[in-house]
Amino acid sequence: MSLPVHWVASLDGVRPGGTVRVEGDEAHHAVAVRRLRAGEGVLLTDGAGHLVSGTVVATGKRELIVEVTDVTAVRAPEPSLTVVQGLPKGDRGELAVEVLTEVGVSTIVPWAASRSVAVWKGERAEKSLARWRSTAREAAKQSRRAWFPEVRSLAGTAEVLDVLAAADLAVVLHEQATGSLPALDLPTTGSLVVVVGPEGGLTDEEVAAFSAAGALSVRLGAEVLRTSTAGVAACAALLSRTDRWA
């Protein structure tokens, strides 16, 4: 049985034989929900490449103390994968974040596209972004990731263009494109970027701007996928051609 995974803010300087204190909501979940007790094994991560396995030696209502058995430093996977996700309506945004995290995406950029039905403004924007980040953290723990994805603040098209310009390869999913993912020459290192439009699709102006920034338009077969699932399908297709899934 796999060890339960819990997050701590930092594991810098942790060594075998030492102890790590888990506090707050994370400890409450471990003790009250998972019912971890002294003597049980646990896996800790800071989401920044450090994994610590150890044994629970003490618990409190909002406290968990772990004696460290082993410490592992994991390199960030390459090529990295960034998804620019057009804002979906309802709870489909959290679904997209969850599956993208599980598949191994390193960065998620929420994008206010021209045809996005959902609108993030004011307090709603803060709450929506917080939900996306919370979803990413929980999905990363569930999928036992050493590196948690970064969920950036809401971006407009101008900010997306900057993301595309910095990529080693950028693709835009577009149902009218003639290019395909299998035909692409993928870099073995660096960064890959996938742009996923909202339910309403991309405007001609957005497609033109992305193309000018160096992105390639591709389609995922004859079917049209939902915005909440198109990204994970594209990422899986790309990762299957890299050493990350070798």
Res 151: pLDDT: 98
Q: Residue-wise pLDDT tens for the chain (246 aa)?
A: 688 899 999 999 999 999 999 999 999 999 999 999 999 999 999 999 999 999 999 999 899 999 999 999 999 999 999 999 999 998 999 999 999 999 999 999 999 999 998 899 999 999 999 999 999 999 999 999 999 999 999 999 999 999 999 999 999 999 889 999 999 999 999 999 999 999 999 999 999 999 999 999 999 988 889 999 999 999 999 999 999 998
Predicted pLDDT of residue 97: 98
Please choose, from the candidates 4, 201, 34, 30, the residue with its C-alpha nearest in 3D space to the C-alpha of residue 116: 201
For residues 59 and 177, what is the distance between their CA atoms, to the nearest angstrom? Answer: 56
Whole-number pLDDT of residue 148? 98
Q: In which residue ranges of the chain is CATH 3.40.1280.10 found?
A: 80-245
pLDDT of residue 122: 92
pLDDT in the model for residue 222: 86
pTM score of the predicted model: 0.93
Q: In this structure, which CATH number among 3.40.1280.10, 3.40.50.2300, 3.40.50.300, 3.40.50.2000 belongs to the domain 80-245?
A: 3.40.1280.10
pLDDT at residue 224, as a whole number: 84
Whether domain 5-73 has CATH 3.40.50.300: the reply is no
Hey, what are 136's tokens? 């990413």
